[in-house]
Amino acid sequence: MEREEAYRKITELRNELEEHNYCYYVLNQPVISDFEFDMKLKELEKLEAGFPEFTGPNSPTQRVGSDSTSNFEQVEHKYAMLSLSNAYSEGEIADFDNRIRKIINTGFEYVCELKFDGSSISLTYKNGRLARAVTRGDGVRGDDVTQNVRTIKSIPLQLRGNDFPGEFEIRGEIVMPFSVFNELNAELEQAGEQLLANPRNTAAGTLKMKNPKIVASRKLDSYFYYILGKDLPFDEHFESLQKAREWGFKVSDATEICKNLDEVFAFLKKWDTARQQLPVATDGVVIKVNSKHLQDNLGFTAKSPRWAIAYKFKAENVSTVLNSVSYQVGRTGAVTPVANLVPVQIAGTIVKRASLHNADIIQNLGLHLGDTVYVEKGGEIIPKITGVDTAKRNPMFQPVKFIDNCPECGTKLIRTEGEAAFYCPNEDGCPPQIKGKMEHFVSRKAMDIDGLGEETIELLYGQGLAKNITELYELKKDQLANLERMGEKSAQRILDGLEASKKVPFERVLFALGIRFVGETVAKTLTKKLHNIENIQSAKKEELTEIDEIGERIADSVAGWFSKEENRQCVQKLKEAGLQFQISGEKLLGSTEKLAGLNIIISGTFNHYSRDELKEMIEQNGGKNVGSISKNTSYVLAGKNMGPGKLEKANQFGVKIISEDEFLKMLE
């Protein structure tokens, strides 16, 4: 393809893909299927690879994010990002209205907007292109997170139309949808790791991650609510939001002009309940004077604008009675106490149970059976007990005492120092742990065995046909076909799924074993470094902790798991069944010992490869990635913006500093 034709086609595809992004993520009105979109994106990627001179940061292909890492630069805000004054009642809103009327003597309108519960962001656009994205920080300066923000598909990289100012700022909120948050927590639970607290904190944490590729995978969303700049082409705030929508920004449909306080109060009342149906978290309503001219006249206090106020919704808090406390055992053996309540309605749903998390929570609340307790939905999602009405406590009520033994198998519970949870150590004889491990083993991200789900595992376990993961591979068609709600087709589907699982790559098999703290990423790291199950099985704790990103907690768990005879036998049986327990020859191809015995530390950012790719090259060629400089460090592989502390230490220990090009020559 000629250069001119390639440029024309690249431009055409970019415009088309951005239009589809806008329809899908902003208007929520997709025009083409996901498959058709992906095919067009692949075509663009191919063209840009063939003509790299036409590749740019605003191309739709760049939204997947690079896996290069860098420290965030601190940037001073051109306009301070002040916080808003809060109001918690209609009376406080009326006081706010009176303060404004004392300053201005003309009629005015308010604009009411939902207050989204996420992470504040300020975007700068120059000539219609995204130039910079900065977090709120302390209000005066924040972190430059432009590379991460580029991955958010509801944020335009190039504005639509041509009637926008040459330069302006727009402010909004980066949010994580409930569906994405719940999916993330389900993955963490499956890996036996600590769950995330709420979508707000997770969105903020994601925005500050140093790997844009991971940020892209988190599917963040955005809503925008305020434009700043010189010579803006509108006087009304509401009008500016409509313009922002035309330019491609996601602006909430739940934004209204209110002519008086009665209309404001009606808006508050409506959304106090209607917000429960929204896909993202909200915690209030922001009320602003509509006229920008009046906003300028009203000005600011030292902390907040005089022309706006945030009305905060009350987290619905109701009282009910604690009937009992039961205990659930997860697949990792963690025992979670659950409060069983007299059913009560909270935030539109009937709540019968609330998690008490661990023994410390029970102790801090001072719970007694029969207590009247206050319950609310934490982050509008998870019911939790927030307090006890001790005035209603009967002297005969007994305090809740955390159990000593497993409620399922009777084994004495243990608690590791520094951890909040109690565990049942009987992992091979405790039914919920065994069934939980089997469910994890067959799950989509592990062995992905078609036809086997939670109900089928329960049925197989209950009938004595499969008491552990190895026995799944001993199942016969007639055994399955004779089960309740099963038949020839379903039985064959399960057997086909088991057979297909024998081709699942080693890293997923290791993840499927359900070793505590070995999630998908750790499993990939271990298999990439140690290549086969024999090496992992025989590795001592000290050897494991030498592997990049493997800490003592993970090393203890892995070494402890393989030290048990029953686990080694489990692996042996799975090997005999035909599962993959070593890296394929294709993945091993290209491994050398060119860097054997060398300890290399990476610092800065690079032109040809990302830091993660360079780390992989070091390991693939027999070298070791280290995290700090010492007398045992062989080289510092330095890119742009190498840390001054590392440079000083390298000189102190006489460690040679090499460039990316010098490093690549070592591998030739």
How would residue 536 be classed by pLDDT, with cut points 50, 70 and 90? very high
How would residue 2 be classed by pLDDT, with cut points 50, 70 and 90? confident
Output the CA torsion sign for 623, 626, 631, 635: positive
pLDDT over threshold 80, residue 301: no
Question: What CATH number has the domain spanning 317-392?
Answer: 2.40.50.140
Total-model pTM:
0.50
CATH number for 599-666: choose from 2.40.160.60, 3.40.50.1370, 3.40.1280.10, 3.40.50.10190: 3.40.50.10190
Q: What is the pLDDT of residue 231?
A: 79
pLDDT digits (tens, 9 = 90+) for 210-240: 888 889 989 999 999 999 998 788 889 999 9
Q: What is the pLDDT of residue 643?
A: 66
- The chain-wide mean pLDDT, for the chain, equals 87
Query: In 462-483, which positions are buried (b, 16+ CB within 10 angstroms) versus exposed (e)?
Result: eeebbebbbebbebeeeebeeb
Please indicate whether residue 644 or residue 403 has the higher confidence score (pLDDT). 403
Rounded average pLDDT over 543-559: 88
Q: Can you identify the CATH homologous superfamily of domain 3-63?
A: Helix hairpin bin (1.10.287.610)
pLDDT digits (tens, 9 = 90+) for 134-145: 998 878 888 899
Q: What is the pLDDT of residue 589?
A: 67
Q: What is the pLDDT of residue 86?
A: 85
Q: What is the pLDDT of residue 68?
A: 43
pLDDT over threshold 60, residue 380: no
How would residue 641 be classed by pLDDT, with cut points 50, 70 and 90? low
Q: Return the CATH fold of 506-588.
A: DNA polymerase; domain 1 (1.10.150)
Among 123-137, 206-220, 493-507, the range scoring the smallest mean pLDDT is: 206-220
Q: Do domains 431-503 and 506-588 have the same CATH topology?
A: yes
How would residue 45 be classed by pLDDT, with cut points 50, 70 and 90? confident
Q: What is the pLDDT of residue 613?
A: 81
pLDDT over threshold 80, residue 95: yes
How would residue 502 be classed by pLDDT, with cut points 50, 70 and 90? very high
Q: What is the pLDDT of residue 524?
A: 84
Residue type, 126: K
Length of the chain: 668
pLDDT digits (tens, 9 = 90+) for 578-627: 999 998 776 666 677 888 889 999 887 778 887 778 887 887 888 888 87
Among 18-22, 94-98, 111-115, 345-349, the range scoring the smallest mean pLDDT is: 345-349
Please indicate whether residue 37 or residue 368 has the higher confidence score (pLDDT). 368
Rounded average pLDDT over 424-450: 92
Rounded average pLDDT over 433-440: 94
Token duo for residue 116: 């989204």
The candidate with the shortest Cα–Cα distance to 624, out of 533, 537, 547, is 547
Q: What is the pLDDT of residue 67?
A: 42
The candidate with the shortest Cα–Cα distance to 215, out of 136, 123, 150, is 150
How would residue 174 be classed by pLDDT, with cut points 50, 70 and 90? very high
Residue 336's DSSP bridge partners are 328
Output the CA torsion sign for 258, 264, 266, 268: positive
CATH number for 78-312: choose from 3.40.30.10, 3.40.640.10, 2.40.50.140, 3.30.470.30: 3.30.470.30
Q: What is the pLDDT of residue 454?
A: 87
pLDDT over threshold 60, residue 51: yes
pLDDT over threshold 80, residue 77: yes
Rounded average pLDDT over 326-331: 92
- Residue 180 CA, chain-centre distance (Å), reads 7
CA distance 402 to 379: 26
Query: In 525-557, which positions are buried (b, 16+ CB within 10 angstroms) versus exposed (e)?
Result: bbbbbbbebeebbebebebbbebeebeeebbbb
Rounded average pLDDT over 186-191: 79
- Most trustworthy range by pLDDT among 30-39, 49-58, 322-331: 322-331
* 115, 153, 384, 437: the active-site residue: 115
- Residue 200 CA, chain-centre distance (Å), reads 10
Asked if 503 is an active-site residue, the reply is no
Rounded average pLDDT over 471-476: 95
The candidate with the shortest Cα–Cα distance to 456, out of 486, 428, 487, is 486
- Tell me the percentage of the chain whose pLDDT exceeds 90: 51
pLDDT over threshold 70, residue 126: yes
pLDDT over threshold 50, residue 379: no
Q: What is the pLDDT of residue 631?
A: 87
Domain boundaries, the chain: 3-63, 78-312, 317-392, 431-503, 506-588, 599-666
CATH number for 431-503: choose from 3.40.50.300, 1.10.150.20, 3.30.470.20, 3.30.565.10: 1.10.150.20
pLDDT over threshold 80, residue 277: yes
Q: What is the pLDDT of residue 525?
A: 85
pLDDT over threshold 80, residue 299: yes
- Tell me the percentage of the chain whose pLDDT exceeds 70: 94
pLDDT over threshold 70, residue 347: no
Mapping DSSP to helix (H, G, I), strand (E, B) and coil, where does residue 373 land?
strand
CA distance 636 to 662: 11
Q: What is the pLDDT of residue 61?
A: 77
